[in-house]
Each structure stands twice: as C-alpha cells, then as structure tokens.
Amino acid sequence: MPGSGTGIYAHIVGWGMAVPEGVLTNKDLEAIVDTNDEWIRARTGIRERRIANERESTATLGYKAAQQALEVADILPAELDLIIVATSTPENIFPSTASLIQDWLGAGRAGAFDLSAACSGFVYGVNMATQAIRSGSIQKALVIGAETMSRVMDWQDRGTCILFGDGAGAVVLQASDVEGGVLSAVLRSDGSGYDLLGIPTVGSQDVDMDKVGANGHKMYKMFMVGGEVFKFATRVIGESVKEALEIAGLGLEDIDLIVPHQANDRIIKSAARSLGLDKNMFMSNVERYGNTSAASIPIALCEAIEQGRVQNGDDLVLVGFGGGLTWASMVVRWGVPEPDLRQATRFSKQRRQISYSVSRWRARSRRWRRQFNLHVTRIHPERGRVIRLRRKIDQYDSEDL
C-alpha cells in the first residue's frame, strides 16, 4: 500500500445502514413549499427522501447501522478500539454522538469522537480510522455517517428543503496483513467557501442577532448558495478521484465502481462526463433518499453490495464533497467474503445481544449511583461517612454486573 511501510492494511469487513420509515415525496413537498414534482426531479433527480420521527435521532439511526455492521463483521462491540461518527447534525455539541453509541453498544474499550466535515465526513472518518490501524495503535474501528438533516432545514427555503433526508450508514474496519483494503485517500478543504454552505449555531458571529445572521441566515438552519456549490462539486470530484488513483498506482480504467456523495443526480452526471466514464460506473440512490450528507456514501455502499455491484478484488472509489468547503476521495480494494457467506454464528449473535442488554443496565446503574452519591453528599456532609457509602455502592455495582 502506498505510504504504508508497515505491512498492516485496513479492510472493510462489516457494513450496515438504517433509514427512517417515514417517506416525504415530492408531492408531499408541494403542500409545504412552492415547488412541484417535475421541477424537483428535473433539477435534482430526487423523488423522495426519508424523514426521522420524534423517536428517531442521529444517534438512534447510527446505533442501528452500527449493529448491522457488527453483525456482518461478526465481531463483538467489546473488540472495537475506536468509534468515529461523521455528522453535521450531532445529538449534542457535547457529549459526542459517538460516545452515546459507544455506550449503547457496550463497546467499553473504544475511544469515541464526532467528526465534522459535512458531506465529506465519512471519507474523512474512514481515513482517520485507517491511519490508526496502519500505525498499529488499534485493530478494529467502527466508522458511522449519520444525519437528521430534516431537523436543520428551513422548510420555507425550496432551494434546500427539497434536497435533504435522514439516515445512517456504518462500516467496520479491521487490521490485516493481507494486502488491500484502503489503498489511498485525499482530504482537502477550502475555508474561503465558508459562506456558501453552512448552519449558524452557538459560537458563531451571528449568535446575538436575534436568531438571524448578518447575511440573513437563520440560526440553526441550513443555508446554501446552490449555483456556487454545484460548480465547486463538479470541479473537485474529477480532480480528487484522479489524485487518489494516482497515489494508489491505478488509472481510471482500473475502477470497478465509484460511490459518490449523493447530492444531486446532475452533479453525478457531470462528474461522469468530466472523467470520461459511463454514468453506470457511479452508484446512485439519490432518487429514493435525497442528500443524507455524511450518511450518503455508506448508505450507497451498502446498497451497492446488496445489489451485487461489489465483488472481491474490485477497486472502488469513494468521493465526497460539502460544506467547509471540503472534499475527499478514497480508493478501496474490496477483499472480504460475500455477504451471504459472512453470516454471524448463533453464539456470536447471542453474545452481542447480551452485550447490548448489559450495556443498558450498566448505564442505568452508573446514573443511579451518581444520583445516589449526590443525595448522600447533601444529607451526610461528613467526608469519611460519604466515602464509606460510596465504596459500598461501587462494590455493589461491580458485583451486580
């Protein structure tokens, strides 16, 4: 692998996706904003998108996708060393969405953090995990792209609300001495385009302006200068794909499939023309899901695998672009058994389910312990007595689990 020098390779060995059940069609949007089905399809290729309900969130969708990926990989959550969630719609500013998912999975050995690189975030995250694996510092990583974009939409802005949907996708990466896996990656950013696509929020210069920014941008709502973003995307896709291929020592003729960020069907067609490739070389599901930001590439990858478009030995390109401005490309040589041959053993499935249940009870027990400690501290301020009580609680907690 170019640039490795360690003989350690990072292979994708598990994958999974989760989308809300709720569907918002173009016809439905006609009742919300001044638009119509024909206008949307002609300009974006989108017919419908998934919208999270009140019980669904970035974390719950990411958790479901992660469970699926662990099933395919047939590994236990306790084996994970690192969890990265790429998202522009985190559950909180902190704690991270990754930490919530880490707790729900019962991945007690894993570090966890969120990564913000907009629609490029998933490729960024996979590269971060790959570098950690190649360095020898970790063995297994879970990378999730998860979004609830519907929660940051201005539903009066037809330039953005027609484009986005909710969902999550995840992959498990594992160290191996078998050559292949992630061969190269190119990560880029142009911060001068910060005013073309973004979401003003806490800490921004607009925060004291009565929820409306100096440029007319609403607080906590997405804005986009569509024409400029379109030109940016069509330019950088071809450039970054060629650069990633060059680093991997491959050419356009070696590509078996490109899995791009699902932003707009016109962008995908333009990228195909600029690279001189047939559009069928590009995986596309934007028609059914719209733009799910950091979740779009892993969701598209999962569906490509399900459709039989990914085979052992195939050279894939993942390419994303979005707010920042950011863009990223990655070359992956596929090298895992076919999905139907990677069914988890019954014993492993049972252990995973037990892990999830134990994790839920452990979290509840820890919260109860903290609440009880606070209560005891208020009632019995004498230090020695509190320490003895806390020791008893800690002992009960460890014995019970």
Q: Which two tokens stand for residue 292?
A: 């799910």
Q: Which 3 state secondary structure label does DSSP give 313?
A: coil
Catalytic residue among 119, 127, 217, 264: 119
- Which candidate, 141, 134, 127, places its Cα nearest to that of 171? 141
Paired tokens of 142 = 């879970």
Catalytic residue, candidates 161, 264, 291, 302: 291
Dihedral angle computed from the Cα positions of residues 35, 41, 42 and 43, in that order, rounded to the nearest 10 degrees: 70
Strand partners, 167: 147
Task: Tell me whether residue 261 is one of the annotated catalytic residues.
Answer: yes
Give which of 251, 253, 247, 268 is closest to 319, Cα–Cα. Answer: 268
Q: Locate 367 and state its tokens.
A: 């919260």
Q: Give the integer Cα–Cα distance in Å for 119 and 319.
A: 10
Catalytic residue among 26, 127, 161, 261: 261
d(CA 128, CA 142): 11
Q: DSSP 3-state assignment of 103?
A: helix
Residue 236: name the closest of 325, 296, 317, 301 by CA: 325
Active site residue 291: yes
Report residue 324 as tokens: 């920042």
Asked if residue 186 lies in contact with residue 177, where contact means CB atoms within 8 angstroms, the answer is no
- List helix spans (H) across 253-345: 265-275, 286-289, 296-306
Active site residues: 119, 261, 291
